[in-house]
Structure 1
Amino acid sequence: MTAWLAIIAPAWIAGSILALLSAPLGCLVLWRRMAFFADALAHGTLLGVALAAWWQLPMGIGVALVSAAVVLCLVLMDDDRLPADAVLAVVAVTLLCLGLLTLTQLTNQQANVLGFLFGNLLELDWADLPLLAGSVLAGLGLLLYIWPAQIKLATHEALARIQGINPTRQRLFFMGVLAGFCAIALQAVGSLLISGLLVLPALTARLWSSSPKQMVITAFIIAQLGVTLGVWGSIWLDIQTGLSIVLILAILFFIALMVSKLAKIKFRSAR
């Protein structure tokens, strides 16, 4: 047991640290109705990693460049004739294809493709934790700074504008935090599953919460539970850690949804 714990403990702690940022950020993604954007940005991390490996740059620079390109691309593609969700879906698929193509054809990272797609927390060791913790704390600090303005924009954008809040600047701040999270979550759950780690805990919490504060706390608990069960489940089932974590979160969501619906039916029948 001690030998297993020595291997699993860094991954377990890293996932728990990551959940500190994923829970409030995921709630904000839902409130701002930006789940499709988060998915496109998550797929873009793969292209960012590929470009960084190709140009021999730090991974963060590659992800930052792609994130900026995604924002510029969406601005240029803005058209009343095109549904926003469809445009984001096209951008996400294109980024994924370009990332896979670059990673497999122009770099020497072919052996790591599955890890980039689905993550592998078990490759983390104790030396990686301080950098991860520092990155998460920096993200939390920026999120805390923009939180009041983001809440006002999510609830009533017109009123927020009257109060002097700049929606464009706040959107850029939010995109920056989201891009940073995608970069640090890549090893945990991979490019394909980052949006699942973000959205599923918040979506589950929304079923049982009556206030924003309660939703964030509930999302954090669910994220921690998903990470814990997911890390141990990946060992037991011998599957990718990211797959295991997101599958656990999906199962928790569907259980919560069924229980919520049954409770609602029971309440109506009692009336």
Structure 2
Amino acid sequence: MNAWLAIIAPAWIAGSVLALLSAPLGCLVLWRRMAFFADALAHGTLLGVALAVWWQLPMGVGIAIISIAVVLGLVLIDDERLPVDAVLAVVAVSLLCLGLLALTQLTDQQANVLGFLFGNLLELDWADLPLLATSVLVGLGLLIYIWPAQIKLATHEALARIQGINPARQRLFFMGVLAGFCAIALQAVGSLLISGLLVLPALSARLWASSPKQMVLLSLLIAQVGVTLGVWGSIWLDIQTGLSIVLILAILFFIALFFSKLKTLRFWSAERRR
């Protein structure tokens, strides 16, 4: 049992720490309607990793380069004739293909492709936790700093402008925090599943929350449950950790959706009886 705990404990702690940032950030992604952008950035991490390995740079530098390129690219290709969600979907798929091509053709990381795609928290050990915790704390600090302005922009952008909030600057701040999260979440759930870790707890919480604060707290709880069950499930089922975590979060979402629908049906039935 002690041998199992030595492997699982660092992974579970790392996932739980990561969830502290993913839950509130995921809520903000929903409120700002930027889920597709988060998906594009998440897929871009794969190309960032490939460039970092190829140029022998730190992984974070490669991801930062791609994140900046994605933001600038979206500004350049912006066209009112094209739906934003469709453009972001094309960008996400293109980055994923380029990342896979670069990883397999330009680097010697072919054996690690599955880990980059689906994550593997179980490879973390105790020595990795301080850096992860520090990165999450920095991310939380930045998120707390921009939170009031982001909430105002999400609820009423015109009023936020009158109050002196610069939407473009705040969007860049938000994108920076999101890119940083993608970099530190890569090992946990992989490039393909980062958006799932972000969005699923927030979506589940939105079904039951009656206020933004309640939504964040519920999202935190759901993310922690998903990480815990996902880490243990990956051991029992012998599958990739990221797959297990996101699958658990998806199951929790559909359970929440089912009971929310049931509650609504009961409410309407009671109203009809009256």
Give the alignment's TM-score, normalised by structure 1.
1.00
**Paired position in structure 1 for 2:197:** 197
**Paired position in structure 1 for 2:248:** 248
CA distance in 2: counterparts of 1:112 and 1:100, whole angstroms: 11
CA distance in 2: counterparts of 1:270 and 1:171, whole angstroms: 44
Instruction: Please show how residues 12-91 of structure 1 align to structure 2 within 5 Å.
Output: 12-91=12-91
The structural deviation recorded for 1:44 is 0.2
Taking only the aligned residue pairs, the percentage that are identical comes to 87
The structural deviation recorded for 1:80 is 0.6
CA distance in 2: counterparts of 1:101 and 1:3, whole angstroms: 38
The structural deviation recorded for 1:248 is 0.1
Counterpart of 2:144 in 1: which secondary structure?
helix
The structural deviation recorded for 1:3 is 1.3
Query: How many pairs are equivalent?
Result: 271
Gaps of 5+ in 1: none
CA distance in 2: counterparts of 1:187 and 1:80, whole angstroms: 36
CA distance in 1: counterparts of 2:138 and 2:109, whole angstroms: 29
Letter in structure 2 aligned against 1:24: P
CA distance in 1: counterparts of 2:25 and 2:164, whole angstroms: 23
Letter in structure 1 aligned against 2:85: D
**Is 1:163 the counterpart of 2:136 in the alignment?**
no
Gaps of 5+ in 2: none
The structural deviation recorded for 1:224 is 0.2
CA distance in 1: counterparts of 2:214 and 2:253, whole angstroms: 17
Instruction: Please show how residues 40-189 of structure 1 align to structure 2 within 5 Å.
Output: 40-189=40-189
What are the superposed Cα offsets for residues 224-248 of structure 1, whole Å, 9 maximum, x if unpaired? 0000000000000000000000000
Runs of 4+ in 1 over 4 A off after TM superposition: none
**Paired position in structure 2 for 1:218:** 218
Letter in structure 2 aligned against 1:150: Q
What are the superposed Cα offsets for residues 198-234 of structure 1, whole Å, 9 maximum, x if unpaired? 0000000000001000000000000000000000000
CA distance in 2: counterparts of 1:183 and 1:225, whole angstroms: 22
**Paired position in structure 2 for 1:237:** 237
RMSD: 0.4
Letter in structure 2 aligned against 1:157: E
The structural deviation recorded for 1:189 is 0.1
Letter in structure 2 aligned against 1:25: L
Give the alignment's TM-score, normalised by structure 2.
0.99
